[in-house]
Amino acid sequence: MPTVSMTVNGKPVSGEVEARTLLVQFLRDQLRLTGTHVGCDTSQCGACVVHVDGESAKSCTMLALQVDGAAITTIEGLANGETLHPMQEAFRNNHGLQCGFCTPGMVMSAIDLVKKNPKASETEIREWLEGNICRCTGYHNIVKSIQEAAGNMGG
Amino acid sequence: MPDGVTGTGIGAAVKRVEDQRFLTGRGNYTDDINRPGQTYAYVLRSPHAHATIKSIDTAAASEASGVVAVFTGADMEVGGLPCGWLIHNEDGSPMHEPPHPPLAVGKVRHVGDQVAVVIAESLAEAKNAAELIKVDYGVLPAVIDMKTAEAGGTLVHDDIGTNKCYDWGIGDKDAVDAALAASAHVTEIDIVNNRLIPNAMEPRAAVADFNGANSEYTLYTTSQNPHVIRLLMGAFVLSLPEHKLRVIAPDVGGGFGSKIFLYAEETIITWASARIGRPIKWTADRSEAFITDAHGRDHVTHAKLGIDDNGKFTALKVETYANMGAYLSTFASSVPTYLYATLLAGVYTTPVIYANVKAIFTNTVPVDAYRGAGRPEAAYLLERIVDRAARETGVDQLEIRRHNMIQPDAFPYQTPVALAYDSGNYQATLDSALSLGDVSGYPARKAGSATKGLKRGIGYSTYIEACGIAPSAVAGALGARAGLYESAEVRVHPTGSVTVFTGSHSHGQGHETTFAQIVSDQLGIAMENIEINHGDTGNVQFGMGTYGSRSLAVGGSALVKATGKIIAKASKIAAHIMEASADDIEFKDGNFTVAGTDKSMAFGEIALAAYVPHNFPHDELEPGLDETAFYDPANFTFPGGTHICEVEVDPATGVVKVDNFTAVDDIGRVINPMIVEGQVHGGVAQGIGQALLEGCSYDSDGQLLTGSYMDYTMPRADNLPNFKVATQSTLCTHNVLGVKGVGEVGAIGSPPAVINAIVDALSDFGVKDISMPATSAKVWQAIQDARG
């Protein structure tokens, strides 16, 4: 089997994978980074969003071998010890999560949004989230969380 | 937050305790769990909606790389998956309960029915091997439509000789017929409550681990009620004693009803784990979830509402067909009966009501409780027919409601369909909603929409529902095969910190926070000294779990009862140590004080004295401070309220935009307003989803046409507005917290408000009805048809 090497949450990792192994499988099954979730099989729900070289990407729709040499950030790599990233803190502060299953993907996606569009309007936030499905919150508090985080991230 | 509420007690918007782990990727969901030596199960499923199984050849699959075992229905001689509620027909005979084998025997009855399971060293090997299984099917005609099924011909279950599971009724039919005949006006309506697919974001999963050393089974599973799963699986299917079967529902990623039920897959792998002597993991992919998670709703109803010369409702007659799918799921039979027809009085004084419900088997996925379960169907029917009655009789939408509402001084109020409402004030929630939703500004908004070429409409829903199910004796008399109490243990540790064991289960509701708030409030100790433990039958005393918005009303009441026992015992210990009468001990803010003196002991001091009982009333009490309570409710609780929806419809495209949505709900006392608002937001989103976007669709062969997120329209952020949400509460009169439940109100109250708003918007075109989901195509077509 081929070997893949990448940096995950700042640490170099490598492992043998089948050619068909998805990035999310590599993260969850081999690295045991189970914060990244799988909620669908059609690249729709966004529970698996991670950052690949700083850009949000659905890890269920990439092969592990595709990201050979890349820098990956997962939900586990955001906080500094117990100090949350501003986006995580805003989700906590605004009740932007309930069951928590879509949350890692939402947070990773939202960080990329604020990076690309620090002054995003409510409409722009809602349109950006088109690729992340939440069944619990009705999105109201997720939008509120992202708006608050955008302010705190210097947006 | 109510006036004066600070800190972490009841009424405080405390940030959630559980969020830290969820936000940092340290949640512990079932698929995150791995056991040493674990194997992987893949279930081979029927591609046909209806077929006989002539033969299954598993020889090649069994020899394939990595395969540990292959099992079919012939191998698995166990009981069927049981139904938990016996309904009787109007003639007194019991409903039909055809067998529901975990792996199909002889016949498959819906696309997705389990045919065989392959267990292998890896999931990929299990899937590869499953392709080598040769199943010889004898394809049969499928029966999908309920009225076709009722006529017979093709039978889903041959042995029962009919597709009708039951034919049930409630109310006085003769009185209703007479009242309708005498009514000045009768409004009729045909209503379809569209079939929904629950779609909790976490797909179902299970890990079964049999330990041969002590013959114990451990099952990790995505369940809302692990004790119920243990009881049903152990006692009815696999014949395992409960003390040898531990069921753990760890972090669960949403339920909405779909994770109440005992499912085939968790049962199969628990059984198979002992056969192979190794742990087995099964995780549904989303495509499997669509064809195996119990679906929701799916009612077809004709109803008549009588109105007299004074505009008062005289009678309501309802005839409903309810789809059961191919098998009876765990609580399927109760949903269109006791959770539906008993709510048909709504908030109105309709004096006589009769409902007939025919439950029908079809070659589709089983249908069971989904957020609201029966009550959304009742609210939708009532609020639609009231809306239509107003239009037909030329009465204002609000006036017809106010004129027929139960008055605030009329409680307790006995309805003609069994329920006795304990408290409510429907006029107050309506008035609050009119204010919060700025309904006085609606005409200006409508004019503003018109200038953009858009049709604006407003719709109301003044709904009621029933939660906190139920007095066990009543439920039992009505056919429930389980009690419906809840349990709590409050274990005070020697240093005064507390672990709570609750039979309720949190899968997004935030019990680790709200239950800790209650204990903090009751015992006067800090939240960080309270741990809420739930979801593990190995730790927690028997409990009934979380569904029907029952956690706070029933589980919270049990918790308060247990803390009351703690305080009572601790007061006696305090009295002994401070040499006072127990009657003179006052407990406040975590301190036991001798009334009228400055003698006082902190809660932690009493806890220590209970476990280091050197100075202790041994003649009266046993050492320790650990109390358990079971609470069986005296009645249902009755949340209700008003939802108001404004929509803008683009007549050129049929696109509907929800522009202003207001919900004012009476849910009794609020423990955590932040969490309450979140529950309402989520419920409303699911209600708007049902009204505008979501609809399960089968073709005539029984193939699911909406089997993925590419086809089944989940509400997304850009489909929804921000919501205006408030509470306007009367207290429940029969539980100590005064709470009613909030989990389902959003999904119950909102769909009729949305559809009534669309009907209002399209009324200029002469459109009188639109069915759910009101997709843009459907709305556009309705406009074209009305224009002729």
Q: Give the ipTM.
A: 0.98
In this structure, is residue B95 part of a structural domain? no
Q: What is the DSSP letter of B80?
A: P
Residues 6 or more apart whose Cβ sits within 8 Å of residue B118? B41, B42, B44, B61, B67, B69, B70, B126, B127, B129, B130, B133
Amino acid letter for position B431? D
Arithmetic mean of pLDDT, B91-116? 98
**pLDDT recorded at residue B19:** 98
Strands B245-248, B216-221: pairing kind: parallel
- In this complex, the residue of A20, A37, A141 whose CB is nearest that of residue B681 is A141
Residues A91, A65 share a domain: no
In this structure, is residue B112 part of a structural domain? no
Do residue B773 and residue B669 come from a single domain?
Answer: yes
CB-CB under 8 Å, B22 with A135: no
For range B332-339, the mean pLDDT: 98
The answer on pLDDT for B744 being more than 60 is yes
> Which domain does A71 fall in, by range?
3-77
**Does A106 lie in the same domain as A64?**
no
Final residue of a structural domain among B598, B631, B664: B631
Residue B657 and residue B617 in one domain:
no
Residue among B199, B202, B203 whose CB faces A99 most closely: B202
Note the pLDDT of residue B62.
98
Same domain (yes/no): B594, B493: yes
- Radius of gyration for chain B, computed over Cα atoms and rounded to the nearest angstrom: 27
B412-455 residue pLDDT tens: 999 999 999 999 999 999 999 999 999 999 999 999 999 999 99
Together in a domain, B656 and B620: no
The answer on B783 and B670 residing in a single domain is yes
Residue B483: pLDDT above 70?
yes
Interface contact A100-B200, CB threshold 8 A: no
Q: Which residue in chain B has the smallest CA separation from A87?
A: B23
d(CA A51, CA B716): 22
Which residue is closest to A31 within chain B, CA to CA? B32
Mean pLDDT of B187-202: 98
**Angle, alpha carbons B476-B477-B480 (nearest 5°):** 35
**Distance in Å, alpha carbon of B286 to nearest chain A alpha carbon:** 5
Interchain CB contact of A36 with B (< 8 Å):
yes
Q: What is the pTM of this model?
A: 0.97
Average pLDDT estimate for B86-94: 98
Residue B618 lies in a domain: yes
The CA-atom distances, in angstroms, between B333 and each of B88, B151, B239, B337, B368 are 10, 20, 24, 7, 8
Q: Are the beta carbons of B574 and B588 closer than 8 angstroms?
A: no
Q: Which of B16, B202, B708 lies at the smallest CB-CB distance from A101?
A: B202
For residue A146, give how far its alpha carbon lies from the nearest alpha carbon of chain B (Å).
12
Give yes or no: residues B163 and B217 share one domain. no
Task: Say whether pLDDT at B525 is over 70.
Answer: yes
Looking at residue A154, what is its pLDDT?
74
* Residue A129 and residue A106 share a domain: yes
Angle at A117 between CA A113 and CA A120, to 5 degrees: 90
pLDDT at B356: 98
| pLDDT tens-place string over residues B136-166 | 999 999 999 999 999 999 999 999 999 999 9
Measured torsion, CA atoms of residues B678, B683, B685, B687, in degrees rounded to the nearest 10: -160
Give the closest of A101, A125, A137 to B253, CB-based: A101
Domain finish residue from A77, A103, A120: A77
pLDDT averaged over every residue in chain B: 97
Partner-chain residue, chosen from A75, A137, A140, that has the shortest CB–CB distance to B25: A75
With contacts defined as CB-CB under 8 Å, which chain B residues touch A73? none
Q: Give whole-number Cα distances, B684 to B44, B254, B572, B717, in Å.
A: 36, 16, 48, 13
CB contact under 8 A, B254 and A99: yes
Indicate if A45 and A66 belong to the same structural domain: yes
Q: Does pLDDT of B727 surpass 50? A: yes
Q: Return the sign of the alpha-carbon dihedral for residues B756, B758, B762, B766.
A: negative
> Which residue among A18, A53, A77 closes a domain?
A77
By 3-state DSSP, what share of chain B in percent is helix, strand and coil, each rounded to 5?
Answer: 30, 25, 45
- CB-CB under 8 Å, A76 with B253: no
List the beta strands (DSSP E) in B233-351: 245-248, 280-283, 299-307, 313-325
DSSP H stretches of helix in B277-374:
286-292
**Does B206 lie in the same domain as B175?**
no
- Residues 503 to 542 of B: which have CB under 8 A from any A CB? 507-510
Nearest residue, CB atoms, B716 vs list A100, A123, A133: A133
In angstroms, the CA B56 to CA B135 distance is 4
Place of tokens 């109440």: B260
State the pLDDT confidence band at B470, using cuts at 50, 70 and 90.
confident
In the prediction, which pLDDT does B8 show? 87
- pLDDT at residue number B2: 43
Are A91 and A69 in the same domain? no
Mean of the pLDDT values across residues B275-302? 98
Q: How far is the alpha carbon of A102 from chain B, nearest alpha carbon, in Å?
A: 7
Number of domains in chain B: 4
What is the span of the domain harbouring residue B187? 142-192+297-394
**Per-residue pLDDT at A30 exceeds 60:** yes
The pLDDT-based confidence of B5 (bands split at 50, 70, 90) is: low
Residues B707, A113: Cα–Cα separation, whole Å: 30
B22 closest CB neighbour out of A42, A103, A132:
A103
Distance from CA of B29 to the nearest CA of A (A): 8
d(CA B689, CA B713): 8
pLDDT attached to residue B24: 98
Q: Who's near B545: CB < 8 A, 6+ residues apart?
A: B223, B224, B225, B226, B227, B228, B260, B503, B504, B505
Contacts of A42 in chain B (CB under 8 A): 286, 708-710
Instruction: State the smallest CA–CA distance between residue B362 and chain A in angstroms.
Output: 27
B461 and B340, same structural domain? Answer: no
Q: What's the CATH number where A47 sits? A: 3.10.20.30
Both A34 and A91 in one domain: the answer is no
Task: Give CA separation, A108 vs A32, A77, B322, B732, in Å.
Answer: 18, 10, 42, 42
3-class DSSP assignment, residue B231:
helix
SS3 of B170-210: EECHHHHHHHHHCCCEEEEEEEEECCECCCCCCCCEEEEEE
Q: Do the chains contact at A37 and B684, CB–CB below 8 Å?
A: no
A-facing residues of B in 244-273 (CB < 8 A) are: 251-254, 256
In angstroms, the CA A142 to CA B26 distance is 20
Q: Which of B1, B15, B17, B22 to mutate to test the interface with A (most CBs of A within 10 A)?
A: B22
User: Residue B85 in contact with residue B152, Cβ under 8 Å?
Assistant: no
Q: Which tokens in the block code for residue B512?
A: 């680790």
Give yes or no for residue A155 having a pLDDT over 90: no
Residue ending a domain, among B268, B292, B316, is B292
CA distance B464 to B447: 32
What angle in degrees, to the nearest 10, is found between the helix axes of B673-688 and A140-152?
120
For helices B557-577 and B603-611, angle between their N-to-C axes, nearest 10 degrees: 80
Tokens of B562: 């247990």
Residue A93 has pLDDT above 50, yes or no: yes
Question: Per the CB < 8 Å rule, is B717 touching A143?
Answer: yes
Residue among B254, B286, B723 minimizing CB distance to A138? B723
- Contact between B685 and A137 using a beta-carbon 8 Å cutoff: yes
Nearest-neighbour CA in chain A from B689: distance (Å): 10
Smallest CA–CA distance, residue A69 to chain B, in Å, is 23
Q: Give kind and range of the element (H or E) at residue B745.
A: helix B745-761
| Torsion angle of C-alpha atoms B156, B157, B162, B166, degrees rounded to 10 | -100
Q: Does A124 touch chain B (CB under 8 A)?
A: no
Same domain as B647, residue B627: no
A143 touches chain B (CB under 8 A): yes
A84, A136, A142, A148: which to substitute to probe chain B, counting the most B Cβ within 10 Å? A136
B390 token code pair: 């107003």
What residues of A are in contact with residue B708 (Cβ under 8 Å)? Answer: 40-42, 44
CA distances from B409 to A116, B406, B430, B640, B696 (A): 57, 8, 16, 16, 43
The letter for the amino acid at B223 is: S
Is the pLDDT assigned to residue B1 strictly greater than 50?
no
Name every residue whose Cβ is closer than 8 Å to that of residue B120 and which is 6 or more positions away in sequence. B39, B40, B42, B64, B66, B67, B68, B126, B129
Q: Measured between beta carbons, which residues in chain B are less than 8 angstroms from residue A88?
A: 23-24
Q: Is residue B179 part of a domain?
A: yes
Let me know if residue B480 belongs to a domain: no
Give dist(CA A47, CA B27) in Å, integer. 13
Please count the residues of chain B.
788
The nearest alpha carbon in chain A to B743 belongs to A136
Domain boundary among A77, A100, A124: A77
Closest CB to A98: pick one of B32, B203, B682.
B682
Same domain, A40 and A70: yes
Per-residue pLDDT for B3 more than 70?
no
Question: Quick one: B360 and B270 in the same domain?
Answer: no
Rounded average pLDDT over B20-47: 98
Is residue A36 located within the same domain as residue A12? yes
Which residues from chain B sit within 8 angstroms of residue A36, using beta carbons?
Answer: 25
Q: Are residues A35 and A96 in the same domain?
A: no
CB contact under 8 A, A75 and B202: no
How many angstroms separate the CA atoms of B697 and B711, rounded?
Answer: 10
Query: Does residue B607 sit at the A interface (CB-CB below 8 Å)?
Result: no
Provide DSSP, B298-322: -EEEEEEEEE-TTS-EEEEEEEEEE
* Cβ–Cβ below 8 Å for B708 and A84: no
* Confidence check: pLDDT of B173 > 90: yes
Task: Identify the burial level of B599 via C-beta atoms within 10 angstroms of its C-beta, where 0-12 means exposed, 13-18 middle and 19 or more buried.
Answer: middle
Best B14, B17, B19 member to test A by mutation, with max A CBs in 10 Å, is: B19
Q: Does the pLDDT of residue B598 top 60, yes or no? A: yes
Closest partner CB to A41 (pick from B287, B720, B746): B287
Q: What is the DSSP string of B456-523?
A: EEEEEEEEE--BS---HHHHHHTTBSS---EEEEEEE-TTS-EEEEESS--SSS-HHHHHHHHHHHHH
Query: Which residues from chain A sit within 8 angstroms of residue B716, using beta carbons?
Result: 129-130, 133, 139
Residue B373's CATH number: 3.30.365.10
C-alpha distances (whole Å) from A132 to each of A36, A110, B315 are 13, 10, 47
pLDDT at residue A82, rounded to an integer:
87
**Domain match, B625 and B702 both:** no
Q: Could you tell me how far CA B404 lies from the centroid of its own chain?
A: 29
On chain A, the residues whose CB falls within 8 A of the CB of B286 are 39-42, 45
Inter-chain contacts counted by CB atoms under 8 A, chains A and B: 179
Look at residue B282 and tell me if it is in a domain. yes
Q: Does B716 touch chain A (CB under 8 A)?
A: yes
B36 touching chain A per CB within 8 A:
no
Interface of A with B in 41-80 (CB under 8 A): 41-42, 44-45, 47, 74-76, 78-79
A126 close contact with B: CB closer than 8 A: yes
Same domain, B591 and B497: yes
Name B61's Cβ contacts closer than 8 Å, sequence gap at least 6: B67, B70, B116, B118, B129, B130, B132, B133
The total of structural domains in chain A comes to 2
